[in-house]
Chain A
Amino acid sequence: MGELAGLMRVFLDHASTTPLRPEAKSALTNALELTGNPSSVHSSGQQTRALVEDARDQVAQAVGCNRSEVIFTSGGTEANNQAIKGLFWASGKKLIISSPLEHHAVIDPIQWLEQNQGAEVYWLKVDRGGQVDLTDLQIVLNARASEVALIALMWVNNETGVVTDIPAVTSVANKFNVPVHSDAVAAFGNVDINFASSGLSTMAISGHKVGAPIGVGALIVGRDQKPSSLVHGGSQERSLRSGTLSYPMIASFGAASAAASADLDARKTRLLELRNELEAKVLVKLPNAMVTVANSKRSFHNAHFIFPGAQSDNLLFLLDQSGISASAGSACTAGVLAPSHVLLAMGIEPELADCSIRVSLGHSTTKSDIDAFVSAIEAAYPVAVLEAANQKAI
């Protein structure tokens, strides 16, 4: 049991945030040397404006969209809120279609619209493999397409890594002329994304998942889309997102996006091998363990386990004490782990959902990280199982 400082940490929680990429760091520090509001007309402003526009090109290239479709935001949550509320308000319609597997940054704005703005929500059926039932989508659109304000479905699930077939979603939705928003925060940097060919109307991405600092992201808004604005002011960003542009953060985001896009194929090959090795080794060492969604199409960066009989919080505690940062469900405000709404929606029994661990790999992950995890979980699992049994016995 070590103290916070001075520990060599093994960081296997890249889905929560990933280390700053060197390119992003130098873009940030270089930009910090400059002075100028990117919206000013003078040369100082033009200088920082150039950084913003360079970054816009980099992001546009990384996600395959037109540069004017990139709306910089403070991050993924803001981008999701802007898309969902903005499309809803602009549509004049009431029905929102989404899935219970979404991140809270999507579920909560939708529920807010339901509770405060008269929205009606249709939550699509999902299966135990963490996949959305597209037949259900087809059925509800056949019946009620004219009432639908938007469809919101994530590209990659942040907990399980399961990939949604977005082109299949949009090919159904576009026939009915219904806009589709996708939370691509967990997808960006991990799967090939091409906004132009995706059929999406809007798409949310976040900087810190690809190696930029926390606090910057973007909403990609198709040229033909006119969502209502969430933040009014100086009319920056197509008048959708007012507020002085944070050119250092945006420049850093641009650099990280370019780097994540450039090394995607190589990283995918390398990390897929490590992820498969990790899963195989864990299953050999701990035959009780389960890979939660072994048979679904999922991203290479995510290994999601269930360790029956061992509660997540105990496992995370023991792993943390061995110097390993991993994750379970989303932590709530007070730091208490609640069973994952994603796993519960998939139909996984609460007792098992309570025993899940997400290991997520990223650009800095090495084989020794994987080995460290395997030996730490091997030691932690029996302790956590014993602890759970003890608590039941008291």
Chain B
Amino acid sequence: MSGGVDSAVAAARAVEQGHEVVGVHLALSRMPGTLRTGSRGCCTIEDSMDAQRAANKLGIPFYVWDFSERFKLDVVDDFVAEYQAGRTPNPCMRCNERIKFAALLEKGLALGFDAVCTGHYASIESDLDGNLELHRSLAMAKDQSYVLGVLTQEQLRHSMFPLGATASKDLVRKEATERGLSVANKPDSYDICFIPEGDTRDWLKEFVNSEPGQIIDTDGQVVGEHDGLVGFTIGQRKGLNLGRPAKDGRPRYVLEIRPKTKEVVVGPEAALEIAELAGDRFSWCGKAPENVSEFFDCEVQVRAHGDAVAAQAAVIDGELVIRLVAPLYGVAPGQTAVLYLGTRVLGQTTIDRTVSAAASIV
């Protein structure tokens, strides 16, 4: 229970369904500079209290479980390392993969529980053979199946998402009000939870060793300088501070980040068109498609709040290769590509490399 309205209502529904429910709040924060002997970062205390209030209201026991070290290791350090390597990571995905549905689930199972129940907007369905499938939630605007794309069949078997069949977040808030939960009108959280000010670039400066370098165009011509690679993202247009305009006078975008040479490559919008994505850190969400070595039709989504677009995918030489039917703009290595078939999540990969549409024509 994060202290938000979704997990509170999810817990309430689980209780109502007759499950034996225990509320658990994950202590994930290890913010620097807030130390008293033996105490931890304080930015989530209020959230923890909100979660406890909800648990009290539901009449269930409530505990705070400390995963701060694991979170630091598996999520925060990974986030920093990915940026350092010039990629754009999704920490929520990593948290689901390594913390919520791994460390927490393992702990729950070891302590005698059957499942982790969360307030994610997604649905688990079973096919005729009893294989579990992850689907988009009914509330399309809130759908969170993307960040759950990392879950395996075994993890799905021990997961519950009671909000999946609810048509909108407004209904969840309304239900929270009716249940007397004080978090009913608590604002949604959008920022990355461990970056308190919401300014990723500023936050990263403290952790990522960033040195000045050159901004070059696709021909290798130096067109400007930067004071550190931190925070540059593929597709970025603003804040490049290029001295000279492009020859054609058109805006230029970040096309590539090269940590080894500290270079940022910029170019025209057309060069952002990506025709193919691939990565070897992939997994199947539930049962794998049959014969994955041959390209099959699917859709792919590359951002938590993006649309899925038509694609074909196959596993080639240990890599999940995704060919886009129409090009996508500004996809960065480090992002996660989640494959869908209609509402069903098929699987995912962290993107290691992209092939631009221009290159594939050549």
Stretch at the interface among B55-63, B159-167, B219-227, B304-312: B55-63
CB <8 Å contact, B111 and A387: yes
| Residues of B with C-beta under 8 A to A313 | 63, 65-66
B110 at the interface (CB under 8 A from A): yes
Q: A3-B61, A314-B111 are in contact. Are A338 and B48 (CB under 8 A)?
A: no
For window 2-45 of B, CB contacts with A under 8 Å fall at 20, 22, 25, 27, 36-40, 42, 44-45
B102 at the interface (CB under 8 A from A): yes
Could you say which of B37, B61, B66, B112 contacts A337, with CB atoms under 8 Å apart? Answer: B66
CB <8 Å contact, B103 and A334: no
- Distance of A68 from chain B, by nearest CB (Å): 37
| Residues of B with C-beta under 8 A to A3 | 20, 59-61
| Residues of B with C-beta under 8 A to A335 | 25, 27, 48, 52, 63-64
Nearest to B15 among chain A residues (CB) is A3
CB <8 Å contact, B63 and A334: no
Which interface residue of A313, A320, A394 has the most chain B CB atoms within 10 A? A394
A321 at the interface (CB under 8 A from B): yes
CB <8 Å contact, B52 and A391: no
| Residues of B with C-beta under 8 A to A336 | 27, 40, 64, 66, 68
CB <8 Å contact, B59 and A394: no
Which interface residue of B22, B48, B110 has the most chain A CB atoms within 10 A? B110
- Distance of B49 from chain A, by nearest CB (Å): 8
A8 at the interface (CB under 8 A from B): no
CA–CA, A335 to B3, complex, Å? 14
CA–CA, A336 to B48, complex, Å? 10
Q: A332-B39, A337-B66 are in contact. Are A390 and B107 (CB under 8 A)?
A: yes
- Distance of A1 from chain B, by nearest CB (Å): 5
B106 at the interface (CB under 8 A from A): yes
CA–CA, A10 to B36, complex, Å? 33
| Residues of B with C-beta under 8 A to A390 | 106-107, 110
Nearest to B113 among chain A residues (CB) is A1
CB <8 Å contact, A333 and B27: no
A122 at the interface (CB under 8 A from B): no
CB <8 Å contact, B61 and A338: no
CB <8 Å contact, B44 and A334: yes
Nearest to A388 among chain B residues (CB) is B110
A266 at the interface (CB under 8 A from B): no
A358 at the interface (CB under 8 A from B): no
CB <8 Å contact, A333 and B107: no
| Residues of B with C-beta under 8 A to A330 | 38
For window 1-18 of A, CB contacts with B under 8 Å fall at 1-5
For window 372-394 of A, CB contacts with B under 8 Å fall at 383, 386-387, 390-391, 394
| Residues of B with C-beta under 8 A to A359 | none
Q: A318-B111, A337-B66, A390-B107 are in contact. Are A1 and B20 (CB under 8 A)?
A: yes
For window 96-150 of B, CB contacts with A under 8 Å fall at 102-103, 106-107, 110-112
For window 300-329 of A, CB contacts with B under 8 Å fall at 313-314, 317-318, 320-321, 329
Q: Looking at chain B, what size class is its interface with the partner chain?
A: 20 to 34
CA–CA, A259 to B64, complex, Å? 37
| Residues of A with C-beta under 8 A to B106 | 387, 390-391, 394
Which interface residue of A1, A107, A386 has the most chain B CB atoms within 10 A? A1
| Residues of A with C-beta under 8 A to B102 | 394
A341 at the interface (CB under 8 A from B): yes
A339 at the interface (CB under 8 A from B): yes
CB <8 Å contact, B61 and A341: no
For window 43-63 of A, CB contacts with B under 8 Å fall at none
Could you say which of B25, B39, B60, B103 contacts A391, with CB atoms under 8 Å apart? Answer: B103
CA–CA, A29 to B52, complex, Å? 31
Q: A329-B38, A334-B27 are in contact. Are A383 and B45 (CB under 8 A)?
A: no
Q: A386-B110, A394-B103 are in contact. Are A333 and B61 (CB under 8 A)?
A: no
CA–CA, A341 to B38, complex, Å? 7
| Residues of A with C-beta under 8 A to B111 | 314, 317-318, 383, 387
| Residues of A with C-beta under 8 A to B44 | 334
CB <8 Å contact, A391 and B61: no
| Residues of A with C-beta under 8 A to B60 | 3-4
CA–CA, A57 to B64, complex, Å? 43
CB <8 Å contact, A332 and B65: no
CB <8 Å contact, B38 and A338: yes
CA–CA, A334 to B38, complex, Å? 12
CA–CA, A38 to B309, complex, Å? 77
| Residues of A with C-beta under 8 A to B66 | 313, 336-337
Nearest to A317 among chain B residues (CB) is B63
Could you say which of A4, A108, A314, A383 contacts B61, with CB atoms under 8 Å apart? Answer: A4
A-B contact pairs, 14 of them (CB 8 A): A1-B112, A2-B20, A3-B20, A4-B61, A313-B63, A321-B22, A321-B112, A329-B38, A332-B40, A334-B48, A341-B37, A383-B110, A390-B107, A394-B106
- Top 6 nearest A-B pairs by Cβ distance? A335-B64, A338-B38, A387-B110, A336-B27, A332-B39, A336-B66
Residues of A whose CB lies within 8 Å of any CB of B are: 1-5, 107-108, 313-314, 317-318, 320-321, 329-330, 332-341, 383, 386-387, 390-391, 394
In the complex, given contacts A313-B63, A383-B112, A394-B102, what are 13 additional A-B residue pairs having Cβ atoms less than 8 angstroms apart?
A5-B59, A313-B65, A314-B107, A317-B63, A317-B111, A329-B38, A332-B39, A334-B64, A335-B25, A335-B63, A337-B66, A338-B39, A387-B111
